[in-house]
Amino acid sequence: MPEWLRKMTRWLWLFLALTLFLSYGGVQLRASNEAHNKTVLTTIDYREFQRSANSANMDMDYVLERLQENGVNSVAVSEVTLRDLAYNGDIMVSSYGDFTSLSAAVSPETWEAAKRSIGSKYISPSNLVVVAREPAMTDFLKRRLTTRFLPNELITFQLGDNHYFIINAELGTIYVEPNPADKNKPVSKDLDARLGFDETLIDNLKNKGFDIILRPGNNMGSNIHYRAEYDRLVSDYGVSYVVFHGNDLYGAADNVDWVSEWVERNHLTIGIIEASNQLQYYKQAGLEEVMESAAYPINRVYSSTNDEFVTTVDERYYRWVRGVIDRGIRILYVSPFKDTTLTFSQNLDDTIDTIGRFHVTISDKGFIVGQPLNKMSNQMTSPFHRLMVSLSLLLAGTIYLLCLFRPRIQAAWLAAWLITAGLACVGLNNLLLADFSKVYALAGAILYPSLSSLILLIYLKGNRDKPYWQQLLVSLAIILGINGLGMYTAVTSMADIRYIMNVLLFSGVKLSFLTPLLLFLVNYVGVMVGFGNFKDKAVRFLLDKPNYLVLVLLVVGGAAGYYYIGRSGNAMVSVSGLELRLREILESIFLARPRFKELLIGYPALMIMIYWYKKYRQDLILLVLGLGVMMGSISMINSFCHVFTAVMVSVNRTLAGLLTGLLVGAGVLLAIKICELIFANFSIQRE
């Protein structure tokens, strides 16, 4: 590389630092939002707890007292349905077909009264007939049904003390949140209808000191007068959070505008439920439109129904803790455990005890329990910010190509490339006004590990006679420093609330895992072999007999590669019991456990690579163990691509990986030296 090009490369590094500094707004936006998002809110599903308490023959007031003692101060209340009232014995619900056959056979006068009220209207046999006797319940049904169904959708008549309501409209089943073992299965196969919220219940809960989370759902009738109830409830009971129930939000006339207006008018926070596969959120028709229209007043919810496949209480507890720390969950929505091998009362006891244990752990980890959630900024990154990120990638990519190929080019060609590519960046970000944030994050996740490995190879090749400790410190500085630029790029690219709340995902995970490994092979050829001599040297190497060191390296590299690929979004390598136990130990020590790819592969590979390369001077050592170092580097940046994880949590995880990785590497290096001494003594004795 000509001397002028070396100087130019230094200037490119300086300009790279400048563009990254000018893109600091994204980091600031994320840091500010995450600093305001330290509160964890635990709420319970009242309906599910009440039913479990009934099955356990326990007083619900006693259950609520125990929940409060264990730190629960919020209750999620769903709308009352016809089936709820029937379950409690307040009304009788049947299909119109059953009602017709039964009343015609047993109570002809009832059937005659029904025929007079129905007249010539067609009633589907599947439609529902509701019978109420108590005056208070009759009044409740009249108020709620007439604000949800139009006159042509509701037929009423009275016979003696019994009041009859025939709902002549399309209804559906009421769904619970899906769980992996029982996806989208309704609570009942019977049709049902929502009737709004039980204000007597809400009054009772408020008097006990609980905050209320509302769970409105889709009302199937065409009448929209019921909407006024929602504003009054929010005002009267100081409601701040809403988690929509069911599969859609559309309501009457398939219109979600009123939902957005209701959310904005009352400054509500929408809880979006994490999907069971931990990718994005549980899709509800209309939810995306409401979030966008209301400018994303959202926070993430973990529903414990996603735990149903877990076999132990401890694992449920650890899933909750990891959800808060690793995935940015701030609303824990709990239903009673449903372990079929235990009684209802034991399941309730386990659920309440686990909530208390969870609160203690989360408080110890620095989170706030028992306080309201803070609102976060819905600010988005600007075209200028995205331009700076794209220019930083252009400069880093140019540095990478210059260091790899060391071309003998004229200054005019380099200037032409930088000007042309820079204008393209301006056009993409400021003229097209397109948002390529995910593309930039992916480019950074690929580019910076590749650049760090290239600079590392160049350094080790030219400095293998330096002291071991000096090589190790400089190598760590190269890896952490350059990969730190990749971490920074991921954070500042995917900075707004849509990424924090996992509405938008980092794309290209497999590319970010595999492409840098392939580029490392290119780096090795460029630095250690040379592109011109690659073919001849490769053939010569394949024809040589491998020595024991080469065989050991290939075995170690193969094992590390299998573990890396098998644990990178695939199901090839399952998590062992020992690893689970080790995870628990690490989670109890650190805020977030370090990644095993860093502490078991990346740092030990670096320490062994420097030691063996200095001692045995075989370039193949850099190839095989360098791939292990790359796996650790990729894992570092990948931690910051999990955007729903707070930046400081990822920083803590990276530092924990550095500390534990160096300790593991030192242990492995000591074991290698002991084995070398034993082998040397054995060889001397044989001679």
> Tokens for 605?
């590979």
What is the distance between the terminal CA atoms of the chain, rounded to a whole angstrom?
50
Q: Are residues 656 and 529 in the same domain?
A: yes
Q: How far is CA 489 from the centre of its chain?
A: 20
Of the candidates 71, 592, 506, 564, the one whose C-alpha atom is nearest the C-alpha of residue 324 is 592
Dist. CA 358–CA 355, nearest whole Å: 5
Judge whether 264 lies within some domain: yes
Exposed e or buried b for every residue in 532-551, given b needs 16+ CB within 10 A?
eeeeeeeeeeeeeeeeeebe
pLDDT at 178: 45
When divided into structural domains, the chain yields a total of 3
Q: Which residues of the chain register pLDDT less than 70?
A: 1-2, 175-189, 250-254, 533-580, 683-687
Q: Listing from the earlier edge strand, what are the strands of the sheet with 154-159? A: 92-95, 128-132, 162-167, 154-159
Phi and psi torsions of 102, nearest 5°: -70, -45
Which helix (H) or strand (E) covers residue 74, if one does? Answer: strand 74-78
Judge whether 668 lies within some domain: yes
pLDDT at 558: 66
Dist. CA 237–CA 207, nearest whole Å: 11
Of the candidates 330, 332, 334, the one whose C-alpha atom is nearest the C-alpha of residue 374 is 330
Q: Are residues 207 and 136 in the same domain?
A: no
CA angle, 134 as apex, 130 and 140 as ends, to 5°?
65
Judge whether 105 lies within some domain: yes
Q: Are residues 152 and 213 in the same domain?
A: no
Q: Are residues 537 and 640 in the same domain?
A: yes
Print the SS3 string covering 569-601. Answer: CCCCCCCCHHHHHHHHHHHHHCCCCCCHHHHHH
pLDDT at 183: 45
pLDDT tens-digit readout, 124-169 = 999 999 999 999 999 999 999 999 999 989 999 999 899 999 999 8
Judge whether 675 lies within some domain: yes
The β-bridge partners of 186 are 175
Q: Are 61 and 209 in contact (CB under 8 A)?
A: no
Q: Are residues 268 and 354 in the same domain?
A: yes
Angle subtended by helix axes 647-686 and 468-493, to nearest 10: 150
Dist. CA 29–CA 233, nearest whole Å: 34
pLDDT at 184: 45
Judge whether 636 lies within some domain: yes
Exposed e or buried b for every residue in 46-83, given b needs 16+ CB within 10 A?
bbbbbbbbeebebeeeebbebbeebbbbbbbbbbbbbb
- CATH number of 269's domain: 3.20.20.80
Judge whether 190 lies within some domain: no
Dist. CA 312–CA 567, nearest whole Å: 23
Dist. CA 260–CA 538, nearest whole Å: 64
Judge whether 420 lies within some domain: no
Phi and psi torsions of 567, nearest 5°: -110, 10
Q: Are residues 256 and 326 in the same domain?
A: yes
Q: Are residues 531 and 607 in the same domain?
A: yes
pLDDT at 224: 85
With H, G, I as helix, E, B as strand and everything else as coil, classify residue 157: strand
Max CA pair span of the chain: 114
Dist. CA 331–CA 271, nearest whole Å: 7
Q: Are residues 160 and 238 in the same domain?
A: no
Dist. CA 332–CA 72, nearest whole Å: 10
Of the candidates 88, 95, 64, 99, the one whose C-alpha atom is nearest the C-alpha of residue 140 is 88
Q: Which domain holds residue 318?
A: 38-80+198-369
Q: Are residues 226 and 280 in the same domain?
A: yes
Q: Are residues 110 and 45 in the same domain?
A: no
pLDDT at 430: 80
pLDDT tens-digit readout, 45-89 = 999 999 999 999 999 999 999 999 999 999 999 999 999 999 999
pLDDT at 480: 96
The residue among 322, 343, 369 that closes a domain is 369
Dist. CA 184–CA 178, nearest whole Å: 5
Of the candidates 379, 493, 515, 395, the one whose C-alpha atom is nearest the C-alpha of residue 446 is 515
Judge whether 418 lies within some domain: no
Q: Are residues 531 and 553 in the same domain?
A: yes
The residue among 326, 345, 369 that closes a domain is 369
Q: Are residues 613 and 578 in the same domain?
A: yes
State how beta strands 74-78 and 211-215 pair. parallel
Of the candidates 42, 35, 591, the one whose C-alpha atom is nearest the C-alpha of residue 358 is 42
Q: Among positive and negative, which fits the CA dihedral 416, 421, 426, 431?
A: positive
Cα separations in angstroms, 187 against 192, 248, 476: 10, 16, 56
